[in-house]
Structure 1
Amino acid sequence: MTPAVAAGLQIAVLIGLLACLYVPLGDYMAHVFSSDRDLGVERAVYRVLRVDARREQSWRVYALSVLVFSAAGLLALYALQRLQHVLPSAGNDQTAVEPAMAFNTAVSFVTNTNWQAYLPESTMTNLTQMAGLTVQNFLSAAVGMCVAIAVVRGLCRVRSETLGNFWVDLTRAVVRILLPLSMVLAALFLTQGVVQSFSSGTAVTALDGAAQTIAAAPAASQEAIKLLGTNGGGVFGANSAHPFSNPTPASNLLSILALLLLPVALTRTFGTMLAQSGAGTRAHGLTILGVMATLWAGMLALVTWAEYHAMGVAAAAAGGQMEGKEVRLGIPGSTLFAVSTTGTSTGAVNSSHDSYSALGGGALILNMLLGEIAPGGVGTGLYGILVLAVLAVFVGGLLVGRTPEFLGKKIGRREITCASLSLLVMPVLVLTGVAITALLPSALAAQGNGGEPGSPNSAHGLSEYLYAFASAANNNGSAFGGLTVTDHWFQAALGVAMLLGRLLPIVLVLAMAGAFAAQVRSAPGPGTLPTDRPLFAGLLTGVVVLVAALTFLPALVLGPIAEALQ
């Protein structure tokens, strides 16, 4: 079987599995968030939290609940890292995580970024991994899902002052969706040889006579939710390139399926909830999915082409840019994972993105700079592309001189202001962070793999800065590994970018949803732009690409494009 045939078969199997799960999972999630019945375990949680499950919240209270919950999680995870050396954890002798790194890591996992500026095997105890990081993998993914559902409710409801109850949505997301799916996925990973051990490692003698320890950890349980929840943080430093985390081609395909599954199925949830409320049809969900799929497929084709046509004697001899990629997975298995992980805010990697060709690595950066809506993170991808849909409708309305409407709701000053501000948060964080970092002497010394380490003229060095802040502000978590980010500047700056990149858009999109929920629904007129047709899909795709191109083209020209032209 030729590599091209194998790659095509892999993609076909992946798309086939997604197609089979799309309708039942999407409709199930719509039922979960629309049902008025609670499970027994959910009622127990409400009693502990002193929550009235039948009392809904305005957008302000919903947003405040998200902020308070995130702050509590951040403080708890920070404390756990700082105290891990005095807490029980069999077989571990790690010391307390130093303050700056503990702050960065706590922010990272609470914001669903899972940026790791440390070596997990030697830094975190099993207790911290399980009770801290894995728990946040569930909770941060559930928060993104809750916000997306609240936005959909805002589009569905008429003359309503509420968007649901955050604590109810959070509980249902964890209990009915994330936990069951994670248990099934973890069991499947175990059949492929993914490690699940409470041991800190096994001491062995290497072939050269040196003593070393082969690290072990409860990997399967964390791998499942790290991928399903589009988190990305692994228990091993090599992440999904580690043979204990991703041992076979089957586990690799299963991993890609897991990280795409919920973001894709949520578009069906969106369409189903619109149809149930009479606000729209399921075709609206398919239109959104079509835009996501078009962007994903385009990026996959570009990155795969770039890696097969990289310049250089070594690349030509190997038949492609193989440095930094697993031979057992090959270029197609690596690029498929890389495009999916940078398009879903997951951040898990099965190859070194820093080793990709200049054009391939630049495309991965651009994939994040599109806003990670192809198909995006759990929840974040859906509400992110809905914000862009509002902008697209607004632009379309300006072109024909009509009052823009989306799903029968008028897009007025408040709605477009919230949408525009939420779209500006990420570019401001990325470009400001890169600009300041490029001026710092300590940051120049942190560059790697740039030909001339520390050179301010290194195009690859600028690409490393751009990748780091794009990853942080988009809550992705992957990195160009050549950049050393352990000093206090990077720990603080990237931590702030992760925090603001997550929470500010959430508040703004909830405000937009609240404004839509308070409106009446207008009947479509002769000047209404249909938002469930291919024409709108083309307009939305153009807006996504145009916004990213106008915002980030100068930075991309100075970094990956300049490197590719050298």
Structure 2
Amino acid sequence: MSPVLAGVLQMLALIAALALAYRPLGDYMARVYSSDKHLRVEKWIYKGIGANPDTEMRWHAYLRAVLAFSAVGVLFLYLLQRLQGVLPGSLGFASIDPDQAFNTAASFVTNTNWQSYAGEQAMGHVVQTAGLAVQNFVSAAVGMAVAMALVRGFARSRTGELGNFWADLVRGTVRVLLPVAVVAAVVLVACGALQNFSGIHEVGQFMGGSQQWNGGAVASTEAIKELGTNGGGIFNANSAHPFENPTPFTNLFEIFLILVIPFSLTRTFGVLVGSVKQGYAILATMAVIWIGFVALMMWTEFAHRGPAPEIAGGAMEGKEVRFGVGASSLFAASTTLTSTGAVDSFHSSFTGLGGGITMLGMMLGEIAPGGVGSGLYGILIMAVIAVFIAGLMVGRTPEYLGKKIGTRQIKLAALYILVTPALVLGFTAVSMALPTPPHSILNTAAGSVDHSGAHGFSEILYAYTSGANNNGSAFAGLGADTPWFNTTIGLAMLLGRFLPMVFVLALAGSLAEQKPVPATAGTLRTEKPLFTGLLAGAILIITGLTYFPALALGPLAEGMAA
């Protein structure tokens, strides 16, 4: 079987699996977030944190709860890393330096999971499980909660109440993420993924010498890492490591975990707003963009010219021979179109245009299908923009799901889409412009990139794109473990996560206060293919206009020169 055909068949198998899970999982999540009953274990949690899950919150109260919970998470994870040296199960690893501890705490709380360290050489069992793995669950649940608040903004009328953050957080964790992650972890263990709390072992090598390996709760971490679109791995090689991703089947299964909740949330959205066709329209937009990116990625990697790539069947540098070009391309496109950041190959070794596709996937806002929760609220913001553009073209007040899109709504949507470009382009420009004096702690671009020219610029651009969009993957050539990059990427992650949430929740509150507008003959039918095309076009055009100059200096210049 040719490598191209194998890649296409894997994509078709993945689509079939996602289609089978779409309706049952989407309907189940709709029931979870609309139920007025609480499980016994949930009542214990509410009592422990002192929260009343039946109290409705307006958008500013909901936002305060999100920010307070996340701030406590950052502080706890920071202190856990700083105290690692005196904790049991540390495997002899020292405490984490302040700048790296801040970066890692910001990373995992924001669902980014950017890692400027090698996991198996820095983090002990307590930090990995009680710190990082816990945040893999709750940071994903925060994104789902904010998405549900926006959905209620569209579904409700004449009230500013958006639900209860604590109830949404706990239900998302206990009823959705935890049970699915347990099943996924069992599958991964059965397929050969590691799951233990062993210490460091000396392992002999075939060519002589030895290497040190430590175990860990790998399968359980891997399950929620992919399911919650997190991305941080226990091992530095991430999902290219055989302990995390043993076989081609587990590789495809992990891609399925990455995509299943973001795609299924469109069904949840349709059910909760009372029109599953609206959910199908959003799903179609996500699917068209995802399939297009996967196809482009496979084409750029298989079409790479040169004797070695032609003999190997594609550009194999930085790719696992267990998976090949097709599966690696499928994984790379899926992980950068979501906020996952897990990798089964090194994106810096992709072709120039292939690396550009990974960056563009993040620059879209990671909405095809995007992160758990964040993908849904991100594409709904773009839907508001698309409806507004359509209204301008026909001279009619724009409406979406029976809600008028006025001055306040469009300002909030515009602020949402401007946050991440400002962070990405601003931090990239400063990092490239600042010199690195001898023995300086800044160590900006000149002291950290392995390559000069277009690829070196791409390494910096990729890092801040990944951080600000809460992705977490990286071009491997960047030495990001410096005070400058740890601090600035940490700030980009925090601002890129929580500033957009401010605008999302404010928009949700303003929509919930409106009374529904009846549909007329002039109302744009947002469940039709015409709107799907308009929405996809708006996403690509807005992103292209924003990022094209930066992409032209980096991956496009490198790809055209190859």
So what's the TM-score if we normalise by structure 1?
0.97
- Partner residue of 2:262? 263
- Partner residue of 1:136? 135
Q: Structure 1 residue 3: deviation in Å?
A: 2.0
Contact 1:446 1:483 in 2 (8 A): no
SS in 2 for 1:53: coil
What is the identity, as a one-letter code, of the residue corresponding to 1:80? L
Matches within 5 A, 1:397-546: 397-441=391-435, 442-450=443-451, 455=452, 458-546=453-541
Cα 1:444–1:54 change in 2 (3 A) is: closer
Please give the alpha-carbon distance, in whole angstroms, between the structure 2 residues aligned to 1:449 and 1:100. Answer: 22
Contact 2:80 2:127 in 1 (8 A): yes
Q: Structure 1 residue 449: deviation in Å?
A: 4.8
- Partner residue of 1:300? 294
SS in 1 for 2:202: strand
Deviates further, 509-518 or 42-51: 42-51
What is the identity, as a one-letter code, of the residue corresponding to 2:530? L
Contact 1:447 1:464 in 2 (8 A): no
- Partner residue of 1:556? 551
Match among 333, 340, 343 for residue 334 of structure 2 = 340
Matches within 5 A, 1:68-79: 68-79=68-79
1:218-276, Cα deviation, whole Å (9 max, x unpaired) = 1001000000000000000000000000000110010000000100010000001111x
SS in 2 for 1:85: helix
Contact 1:446 1:485 in 2 (8 A): no
Match among 347, 355, 361 for residue 355 of structure 2 = 361
Identity level (%): 54
- Partner residue of 1:113? 112
Please give the alpha-carbon distance, in whole angstroms, between the structure 1 residues aligned to 2:108 and 2:220. Answer: 16
Matches within 5 A, 1:94-243: 94-243=93-242
Deviates further, 173-182 or 41-50: 41-50
1:482-508, Cα deviation, whole Å (9 max, x unpaired) = 011111111111000000000000011
Q: Structure 1 residue 329: deviation in Å?
A: 0.3
Structure 2 runs not aligned, ≥5 long: 436-442
Match among 363, 373, 382 for residue 376 of structure 2 = 382
Structure 1 runs not aligned, ≥5 long: 276-280
SS in 1 for 2:370: coil
- Partner residue of 2:439? none
SS in 2 for 1:204: strand
Please give the alpha-carbon distance, in whole angstroms, between the structure 2 residues aligned to 1:259 and 1:200. Answer: 30
SS in 1 for 2:117: coil
What is the identity, as a one-letter code, of the residue corresponding to 2:318? G
Over aligned residue pairs, what C-alpha RMSD do you find? 1.0
Please give the alpha-carbon distance, in whole angstroms, between the structure 2 residues aligned to 1:209 and 1:363. Answer: 40
Please give the alpha-carbon distance, in whole angstroms, between the structure 1 residues aligned to 2:58 and 2:204. Answer: 62
Q: Structure 1 residue 448: deviation in Å?
A: 4.1
Please give the alpha-carbon distance, in whole angstroms, between the structure 2 residues aligned to 1:146 and 1:308. Answer: 40
Please give the alpha-carbon distance, in whole angstroms, between the structure 1 residues aligned to 2:297 and 2:454. Answer: 19
Contact 1:447 1:461 in 2 (8 A): no
> Is 1:12 equivalent to 2:12 in the alignment?
yes
Contact 2:191 2:250 in 1 (8 A): yes
> Is 1:331 equivalent to 2:325 in the alignment?
yes
Contact 2:196 2:216 in 1 (8 A): yes
So what's the TM-score if we normalise by structure 2?
0.97
Please give the alpha-carbon distance, in whole angstroms, between the structure 2 residues aligned to 1:149 and 1:510. Answer: 10
Please give the alpha-carbon distance, in whole angstroms, between the structure 2 residues aligned to 1:200 and 1:34. Answer: 45
Contact 2:297 2:357 in 1 (8 A): yes
Contact 1:229 1:378 in 2 (8 A): yes
Q: Structure 1 residue 96: deviation in Å?
A: 0.3
1:514-536, Cα deviation, whole Å (9 max, x unpaired) = 00000000101122111100000
Please give the alpha-carbon distance, in whole angstroms, between the structure 1 residues aligned to 2:524 and 2:536. Answer: 15
Contact 1:390 1:416 in 2 (8 A): yes
